[in-house]
Structure 1
Amino acid sequence: MRTTAAPPWLRHILRPTPVPVDRALVLRGAVGIALPLAAGQLAGEPALGAAAALGAYGAAVDDSSAPWRLRALTLALPQLAGATGLALGHATSGHPWAQVLLLAVTALLSALLSSTGRVGNTSTLVLLLATAMGIGLPSGGPWWHTPALFLLGGLPLALWSVATALRHAARDERAATATAFRATAALLRPAPTAPPDGPGRRHGLTLAMDAAHDTLLGRRLTRPRPGTRTAYLATALDALIPVIAALPAARHATAPVAEAYAAHLDDIADGLERDARPVPGAHPLPPAPAAPALDPLYEAVVRAGTVADDPRTPRDPRHRLPLWTPPARRLARTLRTRLSDPATWSFALRLTLCVTVAQAVASFSALPRSGWIVLTVALLVRPGLGTVPARLVTRVLGTFAGVLAGLALISALAPGWPRITAVVALTALLQAFARYTYALQTLLLTPVMMLLADPLGLAGASVPEARLLDTLVGSALALTAGYLLWPENNRADLARRLARAHERTADYLDARTPYGPHGTDRHELHALRRAAHHELARLHAELDRLRTDPRHHRDLVPWRQYLYDLENALDDAPASRRARPHPAPPPEE
């Protein structure tokens, strides 16, 4: 019997991403949501406990293993945005046109500000979703009641998470820096000891360097002080840049020599990950090369090990810290760049149209006014969350399976402690496995929302039926208004992204001079290299996103090759000044 394989874009959507389980996240999520539910049950007010549990659930979703500064921002700002959205939604209760206008403005601002970074993207998404939820909540009670419970519910988990990060200071910075060293070592290794995937490994280095820069310097509110762990790690990461610039020389190395250099970088990475404080002499020097062509690579690798061994390096005035930009200036520069991009406005207008239509349907039809329709549309259409077909398939599958699971739990468990236990268990599973696929995340999310929406068990099967109906209506609206009637000009957008990445790479190569005390200002070189890595990482993320679009996934091979050529041009820079790179032209429009 002949079988037909699923199309590549669908296989890519449903393919799980293996992610290690973070037990600390699981524990904090389970305990964090158990506290408000248990407090409400013990006080005889399960409805209040469920409202506070929404805040705890939001904090659990936003929780991460990031450094404490980024973790605090990622937890605090979305919680404030969620409380603001609930208050705004409650304020328009009973005024359908005001609700439509409110969500239209919120969707526009949310889309425009989503490109300001991870914290801005998360906060504006929570603002939009919370506004939709606030509109669907019952209108009784003072306006501040639910927002205050939302903030109080997430507070214990947020404080616990930040305190844990402070207790393990610099662990994530060490891991990010070590990952960049290991990604560089992977490119040095010949094919027999590493997967023969040159483009994949080079893309991995781009992403690792971008993530390390963001972790060490991108989210800081102040400049790192000389002598601190962060200053040392930033200097060690800065010393890795000459190694990357000298990577083309590795083609002249024999397999044993290349393996020795790679092992030296791996040894440095192991030391960085164990402790950010260096131990002088901990990294023995690799063998000196016999071929003169390998001298730049050898000197760069030795220097990277010397920096990692010398605890005085951060205090040495000859080794200044990489460039750090104040947060206000970073935000202003990002907003100026993103708001001048036509693709940003196209995404924003598309999301605004879809959310406005969804709220109009919810407000002026006989469908349950729960906010779930708008929530579905926002999650499917919002920029940065993947293509519409990918999110639609996974959300419908996950919601259908989640509704079945929710119906089973509602039928089998009585209100009170049995359902609280189920919510805690589902939250723990969400923290452990939600990053595998979006379908699994939706499957675990749906029954939790169903149980929290009916803490007294009075609605019966009406809640699951309403959630499934709202999801189907929202998916149909997102597919029609956000995809079929609004075709994305992804090829033009890719061309613009490629042009920006090309310009940033060319700017770095134009300024490229030898590193050292008499070379070009290292602040400028670091900033230019950082900008190039950032644009290449954004281009890689966009190409990966378009792999899930049935209209474009077949046309991405030339674009990926061009990205690989740009990354090679970034590395293939000799010590002297070089003209701007001219890799193969982009694919035809």
Structure 2
Amino acid sequence: MGRREDGTGGHTGRLTPPDWLTHGLRPQPAPVPKAAVGRAAVALAAPLAVGLAAGRPEYGALVSMGALSGVIGDTADAYRMRLLNIAVPQFFGAVGVTLGILVYGEGWVAVGALTLVALVSGMISSIGAVASVSGLLLLLNAVVGAGLPMPGPWWKAPLLLSLGGLFVLVLTLLAWPLRARVPEQSAVVATYRSVAELLAAAGTTDYDARRQEVTRSLNTSYDLILARRARDHGRRSPLVQLLAQLNVVIPLVEAAAAAHLYGRASRRPEIAAAVRELADSLEQRRGSAPELVLPEPQGPADRAVNSALRHASAVVHHTGPEPEGMDDRLGAPAALGVRARRAVRNMLLSEPSWRYGLRLALCIGLAQTLVSLVPVTRSYWVALTVTFVLKPDFGSVFSRAVLRALGTAAGLLVAAAVLAAVERGWWDVPVMMVLAALIPAFSVKGYAFQTAAITPVILMLSDILGHQGFHLVLPRLVDSLVGCGIALVAGYLLWPESWHTRIGDRLAQCVEDTARYVVCAFGGLEQAERAQARRRIYRDLSSVRSEFQRALTEPPPTGTRAAAWWPLVVAAERIVDATTAARVRVDHGARPPGPEEVAGIERQLRELADGLRSSEVLVEVRADLPGDDEGVLAPLRQEVRAARAIASPEPRR
């Protein structure tokens, strides 16, 4: 029961490192972003060269420090989102460093100011991805401004830091005129290819993994296109056509669920090959439609696949409805001011945003109080460590603290060699090119690798500003360990939700949403409304899966509990698949279920959700799973029985 889906949750009897540590130290199989590597090398090294040529190396170091923030924040695919991801945080970074400069050397005033900035930073981080980076940069630059002597007057450092971020932005957007729609189109092509693999895996044990990949790909594609569509209201624009081509994937995915239950698509390789051909047509922008030669359907599931594939082919090759008639499933976007006011109101009224803000403020306040009472050279590093470790969207606080300590130690070894062997001056430029190029290359491999790459860069820039040389290394290691300790105690152990998390509540909500989807699938909704409901439930399931995978990296008891409850996450996904498959079969000729059948399944799921909310642990039970049911809902009933048989909630005493 305690084993994970991938089989790594058990014990082998050998003395091995814990899963949460090995997971973080295992490099992720992500390709190296070559363009980002080149941009980082130029963005951080060029300002140093200009500063040296002008006789102001400290100015070049500040511009490079701003460029470092831009490099770290350049994580989006679409150019409009990259513009926001870099430009908006630079404004908050400029505000942060200005506040830091104003309280530099002011003792307890600086402690109070940085604590307040930490509260604001933590709260705005809950708004969204751009706000999260903005909150991070606001606090980081405030800490640096309050801890490092900056060249006067007060406005010079914010200006130089902003120039560095804008330099990265310019380098990033150079290709925008030539590649304006490439990220969105590439995302849609990738979605078609993932659907092809899903259909090829129907009826096999590989289907669940392929379906998760399709969900991630669909989420990415819709996020990219709808973010741009909110600013593009033309009904005949190429973006509308691209969105229509993405929309017609949904019936194919739904049909794949039906095909999986009956194992036919995997025995019809022509289906997956036809979808791959559609992906090639999208990628090469071919307008001609080749004739589709599909196997003769043998039942409702086959008819659903063939029908969805022919419709997708017509839209991809522009032989379907004109863009004016296409449903972009977006509606009129709210005005920017309305969205901003709504986000601020939600932030101010949200308990999680206040709790995280107070959590971060407490840790930053303790860090600044400590370095005010105990003489610490370049004390800003303690608060910087706390800020990075407590970022809410970076993963487990506990594992991040440990991984940051390990990553910092590895980065300090590189920094020690650089500071000892390289004399400050023109040699800094080629060395910085090499070290900066490692940041995006290592960032995609994991948090510890990113920390190891960023550490020597920050130390080099700090040395140019402070001229301490090799003597920076040991204090930075001590400061990092102190910061990690503060984050672990005040940001983790003192908060009950860290080690006593109610994973059952989140899973119960997921099961309840699944029950609602079952009713929605066989209610009186239109097909478009059902498709939207299906997209929402799969997106929510993807979010739940991510939350549980994050919880699995926590130490016991949280990680152990998440591993025990993990099979129910998988079971909920299978229930949604079975519901979708049943709806598809009904749409293509199968006899629809009676209202009492749907109500019975809903009742069983809601009972399971109620039990999960009232339990602390799960205990394994036995249950018979008869397979002789009749009707279109037979597979769905069996999946529900399987979910209820996985575990019976043990009530609280």
TM-score in terms of structure 2 length: 0.81
Provide, for residues 530-572 of structure 1, a one-character-per-residue CA deviation record: whole Å limited to 9, x for no partner: 4334322322221121121112222224543333333334442
Change in Cα spacing, 1:363 to 1:119, as seen in structure 2 (3 Å) is same
Change in Cα spacing, 1:84 to 1:456, as seen in structure 2 (3 Å) is closer
| 2:318 matches 1:310 | yes
Q: Which moved more, 1:457-466 or 1:36-45?
A: 457-466
1:422 to 421, 431, 439: 431
2:294 to 286, 293, 296: 286
Change in Cα spacing, 1:485 to 1:457, as seen in structure 2 (3 Å) is closer
Q: Alpha-carbon deviation of 1:47?
A: 0.8
Change in Cα spacing, 1:419 to 1:449, as seen in structure 2 (3 Å) is same
| 2:569 matches 1:563 | yes
In the alignment, the residues of structure 2 paired with residue 306 and residue 100 of structure 1 have an alpha-carbon distance, to the nearest angstrom, of 64
| 2:269 matches 1:259 | yes
In the alignment, the residues of structure 2 paired with residue 512 and residue 125 of structure 1 have an alpha-carbon distance, to the nearest angstrom, of 42
2:554 aligns to what? 549
Q: Alpha-carbon deviation of 1:82?
A: 1.2
C-alpha contact (below 8 Å) 1:363/1:369 kept by paired residues = no
| 2:327 matches 1:320 | yes
1:535 aligns to what? 540
2:237 aligns to what? 228
Q: Which moved more, 1:550-559 or 1:489-498?
A: 489-498
In the alignment, the residues of structure 1 paired with residue 49 and residue 503 of structure 2 have an alpha-carbon distance, to the nearest angstrom, of 50
In the alignment, the residues of structure 1 paired with residue 242 and residue 428 of structure 2 have an alpha-carbon distance, to the nearest angstrom, of 47
SS of the aligned residue for 1:400 comes to: helix
Alignment of 1:8-27 (within 5 A): 8-27=19-38
C-alpha contact (below 8 Å) 1:22/1:432 kept by paired residues = yes
C-alpha contact (below 8 Å) 2:314/2:320 kept by paired residues = no
Change in Cα spacing, 1:342 to 1:154, as seen in structure 2 (3 Å) is closer
Alignment of 1:44-59 (within 5 A): 44-59=55-70
2:385 to 364, 376, 385: 376
Q: Alpha-carbon deviation of 1:109?
A: 2.3
| 2:256 matches 1:247 | yes
2:135 to 124, 127, 131: 124
| 2:411 matches 1:402 | yes
Q: Alpha-carbon deviation of 1:345?
A: 3.6
Change in Cα spacing, 1:429 to 1:260, as seen in structure 2 (3 Å) is same
Task: Output the amino acid matched with 1:109.
Answer: V
In the alignment, the residues of structure 1 paired with residue 499 and residue 277 of structure 2 have an alpha-carbon distance, to the nearest angstrom, of 42
In the alignment, the residues of structure 2 paired with residue 156 and residue 282 of structure 1 have an alpha-carbon distance, to the nearest angstrom, of 47
In the alignment, the residues of structure 1 paired with residue 517 and residue 181 of structure 2 have an alpha-carbon distance, to the nearest angstrom, of 29
Provide, for residues 241-293 of structure 1, a one-character-per-residue CA deviation record: whole Å limited to 9, x for no partner: 22222333212243554433222222222332x24x45231473532312244
In the alignment, the residues of structure 2 paired with residue 60 and residue 215 of structure 1 have an alpha-carbon distance, to the nearest angstrom, of 20
C-alpha contact (below 8 Å) 2:492/2:498 kept by paired residues = no
1:433 to 442, 450, 468: 442
Q: Alpha-carbon deviation of 1:346?
A: 3.1
Task: Output the amino acid matched with 2:275.
Answer: L
Q: Which moved more, 1:180-189 or 1:354-363?
A: 180-189
Q: Alpha-carbon deviation of 1:335?
A: 6.0
In the alignment, the residues of structure 1 paired with residue 58 and residue 413 of structure 2 have an alpha-carbon distance, to the nearest angstrom, of 24
2:218 aligns to what? 209
C-alpha contact (below 8 Å) 1:245/1:570 kept by paired residues = no
In the alignment, the residues of structure 2 paired with residue 559 and residue 314 of structure 1 have an alpha-carbon distance, to the nearest angstrom, of 48
Task: Output the amino acid matched with 2:468.
Answer: A
SS of the aligned residue for 1:115 comes to: coil
Sequence identity (%): 34
1:349 to 358, 362, 366: 358
Task: Output the amino acid matched with 2:303.
Answer: D
Task: Output the amino acid matched with 2:396.
Answer: T
Q: Tell me, which stretches of 5 or more residues in structure 2 are unaligned?
A: 1-12, 617-653
- Number of residue pairs aligned between Structure 1 and Structure 2: 579
Task: Output the amino acid matched with 1:563.
Answer: V
Larger radius of gyration: 2
SS of the aligned residue for 1:417 comes to: coil
TM-score in terms of structure 1 length: 0.90
Q: Tell me, which stretches of 5 or more residues in structure 1 are unaligned?
A: none
Task: Output the amino acid matched with 1:75.
Answer: I
Q: Alpha-carbon deviation of 1:408?
A: 0.9
Change in Cα spacing, 1:334 to 1:497, as seen in structure 2 (3 Å) is farther
C-alpha contact (below 8 Å) 2:201/2:210 kept by paired residues = no
In the alignment, the residues of structure 2 paired with residue 199 and residue 407 of structure 1 have an alpha-carbon distance, to the nearest angstrom, of 47
C-alpha contact (below 8 Å) 1:226/1:314 kept by paired residues = no
SS of the aligned residue for 2:375 comes to: coil
Q: Alpha-carbon deviation of 1:436?
A: 0.5
Alignment of 1:131-146 (within 5 A): 131-138=142-149, 141-146=152-157
Q: Alpha-carbon deviation of 1:162?
A: 1.7
SS of the aligned residue for 2:316 comes to: helix
| 2:461 matches 1:452 | yes
C-alpha contact (below 8 Å) 2:201/2:207 kept by paired residues = no
In the alignment, the residues of structure 2 paired with residue 336 and residue 570 of structure 1 have an alpha-carbon distance, to the nearest angstrom, of 34
Provide, for residues 206-254 of structure 1, a one-character-per-residue CA deviation record: whole Å limited to 9, x for no partner: 2222111111103554145233332122112211222222333212243
Task: Output the amino acid matched with 1:288.
Answer: E
2:485 to 476, 492, 497: 476
Change in Cα spacing, 1:332 to 1:239, as seen in structure 2 (3 Å) is farther
1:388 aligns to what? 397
Change in Cα spacing, 1:313 to 1:58, as seen in structure 2 (3 Å) is farther
Change in Cα spacing, 1:281 to 1:468, as seen in structure 2 (3 Å) is same
Q: Alpha-carbon deviation of 1:40?
A: 0.3
In the alignment, the residues of structure 1 paired with residue 402 and residue 65 of structure 2 have an alpha-carbon distance, to the nearest angstrom, of 26
Q: Which moved more, 1:170-179 or 1:22-31?
A: 170-179
In the alignment, the residues of structure 2 paired with residue 488 and residue 459 of structure 1 have an alpha-carbon distance, to the nearest angstrom, of 42
2:246 aligns to what? 237
In the alignment, the residues of structure 2 paired with residue 338 and residue 558 of structure 1 have an alpha-carbon distance, to the nearest angstrom, of 33
Change in Cα spacing, 1:506 to 1:97, as seen in structure 2 (3 Å) is farther
What CA RMSD, in Å, does the superposition of the two structures yield over aligned residues?
2.9
C-alpha contact (below 8 Å) 2:32/2:444 kept by paired residues = no
| 2:306 matches 1:295 | no
In the alignment, the residues of structure 2 paired with residue 457 and residue 341 of structure 1 have an alpha-carbon distance, to the nearest angstrom, of 41
1:98 to 100, 105, 109: 109
In the alignment, the residues of structure 2 paired with residue 102 and residue 262 of structure 1 have an alpha-carbon distance, to the nearest angstrom, of 59
SS of the aligned residue for 1:165 comes to: coil
